[in-house]
Amino acid sequence: MSLPRDLGFARRKGTRAIRRAAALYALLLIALLVNAARVQIVESSRYGDNPANRRPMIARYGQPRGDILVDGRAVTGSRDTGGLLRYERTYRDGPLYAPVTGFASQVYGTTLLEAAQDGVLAGTAPQLAPMPAWNDAVRGRSPGGAVVTTLDGAAQRAAYQGLAGRTGAVAAIEPATGRILALVSAPSYDPGELSGTSASVTRAWARLNADAARPMLNRAIRETYPPGSTFKVVTAAAALDSGVVTDPDDATSSADPYLLPGTRTRLTNEASGCADASLRYAFTWSCNTVFAKLGVDIGLRNMRVAATAFGFDDPALRIPFAVAPSTFARKPDASQLALSSIGQFDTRATPLQMAMVASAVAGDGTIMAPYLVERTTTRSGRTVSTAEPRALHRAMSAGTAARLRELMRNVVEEGTGRNAAIDGATVGGKTGTAQHGVGNSGKPYAWFVSWAQADDAPQPAVAVAVVVEDAAGERGEISGGGNAAPIARAVMEAVLNSRPHPLNSPQHPRHCSEPACWGGAFAR
């Protein structure tokens, strides 16, 4: 008779068991979801960055990479291999543009613009996506965008051809904006050799790194050299701004030879007439004795202030990739300060830094921040970002800059830099022959820094620095004017010829006397 009551009890007991099981299953489901969320959100980077995880690599090379452009033309591309890492990077005129593009390798990673602009080129930059949050959620990527450079292709080629067969570097800047017009390092290499995953890539990497000429070293921005007499631009600016020299034509009290303070070492000159020479004469003919003594008279503090104002000892310079800092002597004694003031001892500079020095003279004494990327765009051409010129340093007063332009013009018109002269343009320059090696035993480096302004143009169009490590000729015949100035001239001509009414155009005033030829940038 108690069966119904027992049945009800069993039913209630079974219901409680089902509820407990359901709660357990719900708890397990919640735990599973929480763990999945933890893995996908909190731990995602750990798993995503794990070298054993090949999915990011497959996705990275699963679509064409965006391109780097010069003069509106792509100098990079992508090749469909059909493999697991489907698209390989290709390069047009690879050695010509390698100091700018760098390489993008499935095996060895990315360098230079390929690294600095990787987000845009690979399509992972949030700005490329119409809905960035959605891309993040689904781990998607947009088509690779484009990087439009500031380079002038003709200037780049002129620099590259000028250095052909020699070791050295060239940097060229537009003084008014800081746009980098040329950046060349020689010898160079083909970055396309490092694209792909075949055994040939490994062999190319080993060969390039074993090469004593170091073709993958970007000498324009990553190598520092003693700048020699080109540094006299900085010393002259310091002398004028500090008041140590008030009139460039006044005689200086400078012995020839000059006994370095506290030593028995006598500093001499290649040129004659340097004893008590004026700043103008000493600059035109590159008198070491005058500038060494000026450095001591100016003093370490003022020399350091001047060097820093020109951009020396700046570890933060990027264009957008990092530039090796140029340096001026930290705590030299008087004799070392004298040598540092003529670009020797431990004064060191990149070619880009010395182009910045020339650029400051070409302008009003202001150094504009150098930059290499004009803008970035989506693949469809929508602008993502645009560079804005900005002042980096006030290197000297406008009055001092004007005086230095006169001095640099004298070098080209009358002195050691006559090989840089260009018909139809005003050119200013400074030669340099830098000693190096133990006891100065190395072959001297030939330097030339300059700027050029087309006749009737409102302002200089280009500032250039050239260094040649292995200049041809006997040691005593090597000079900045003989070995580096012709390269600078070719680069400056290329830039001037890319402007309205280029120098070789029949419409340029040097070829035409008609008023119609005087329009545009050459208007009187």
- What one-character-per-residue DSSP string does 233-302 give? HHHHHHHHHHTS-S-TTSB----SSEE-TTSS-EE--SSS--TT-BHHHHHHHT-HHHHHHHHHHH-HHH
CA distances in angstroms from 459 to 34, 199, 318, listed in the order given: 65, 52, 26
Q: Which two tokens stand for residue 275?
A: 């004893």
CA 309, distance to chain mean position in Å, is: 18
Give me the sheet containing 73-74, strands edge to edge.
Answer: 73-74, 68-70, 146-149, 373-377, 383-386
Beta-carbon contacts of residue 360 (< 8 Å; ≥ 6 apart)? 175, 310, 366, 367, 393, 395, 396, 401
CB burial of residue 172 (10 Å; 0-12, 13-18, 19+): buried
DSSP 8-state code for residue 67: -
Neighbour count for residue 385 (Cβ, 10 Å): 16
Residue showing tokens 């150098």:
370
- What one-character-per-residue DSSP string does 307-355 give? HHHHTTT-TT-BSSSB-PPPB--SS--HHHHHHHTTT-TT-BB-HHHHH
CB environment 77-96: b (16+ within 10 A), e (fewer): bbeeeeeebbbbbbbbebbb
For the question of residue 341 being annotated catalytic, the response is no
Active-site option among 78, 229, 286, 335:
229
Residue 453 β-bridge partners: 426
Q: How far apart are CA 287 and CA 275, in angstroms?
A: 9
Q: How far apart are CA 326 and CA 225, in angstroms?
A: 9
Q: Which residues are catalytic?
A: 229
